[in-house]
Amino acid sequence: MSNHKDYDVSLISVGVINAELHFRSFSYNWWITCNKKTEFVVLIRLHMKIMTFLKGYNFVITVVKGNKEYSECSGYLCDCGKFYTEEPSNSSTNAISTIYQKMFCNKTRFSSPQIMGFEKLAIYEKLLEGVLFRSYFVNLELVHVFVFGIAKSKNNEWRCAGVGFKSSFTFQLEKQRCLFIQKFEEELSNYYTKNTN
């Protein structure tokens, strides 16, 4: 890739896995696709800290729960010396770019996976340690399905899926963005819709 840049990034703190955030209905916000071609996803851990070295300065990005738009999504704080974000941004791109722009009086923006080091083997291996099930995305024509639970059964009607299978996707329905959740539980196939606005 011609626009790929290799930043000097290190993992300060690996953070924690939180089942309520990482393996529930809105958990797709806590996983990031690092490689669009292979759909390789990495867990964004709560309280993880990344340090990125730019122009002679260390920028520290911390992941928290919630941002100005959604309370259940990941939020990002960035600090570099006397410069820091006062409230969590909805992306690491916004957090670090805001501080960088204040410091250097320019309009430079950074790519989230690269600036957080998610594409670096040593970092993503650490972030995936202890993850018993790695969620994944399935691209269909109109939707991007996120699978955050899986199980198997002998039920041919379910194509051998079992209790514990869970997936979700967002879709525009009657001019509203909705979250659709599918799951198998107690021999029944259930789904429900939640408005994400």
Could you tell me where the DSSP H helices lie in 36-179? Answer: 92-104, 112-115, 121-128
Residue 30 neighbours by CB under 8 Å, 6+ apart: 21, 22, 43, 44, 73, 74
Separation of alpha carbons 110 and 95, rounded Å? 10
Separation of alpha carbons 185 and 181, rounded Å? 13
Compute the average pLDDT of residues 152-178: 81
Residue 169 neighbours by CB under 8 Å, 6+ apart: 143, 144, 145, 146, 179, 180
**Residue 5 — pLDDT band, cuts 50, 70, 90?**
confident
Residue 1 neighbours by CB under 8 Å, 6+ apart: none
Share of the chain above pLDDT 70, in %: 88
Question: Per-residue pLDDT tens for 135-164?
Answer: 888 888 888 888 888 887 777 776 777 778
Q: At residue 187, does pLDDT exceed 60?
A: no
3-class DSSP assignment, residue 88: coil
Q: At residue 31, does pLDDT exceed 80?
A: yes
In terms of pLDDT, which residue wins out, 159 or 62?
Answer: 62
CB 121 within 8 A of CB 54: no
Question: Per-residue pLDDT tens for 7-22?
Answer: 999 999 999 999 889 8
Compute the average pLDDT of residues 44-52: 97
Which pTM does this prediction carry? 0.81
In terms of pLDDT, which residue wins out, 52 or 192?
Answer: 52
Share the mean pLDDT of the chain: 85
Handedness of CA 123, 116, 148, 21 (dihedral sign): positive
Compute φ and ψ for 20, nearest 5 degrees. Answer: -65, -30
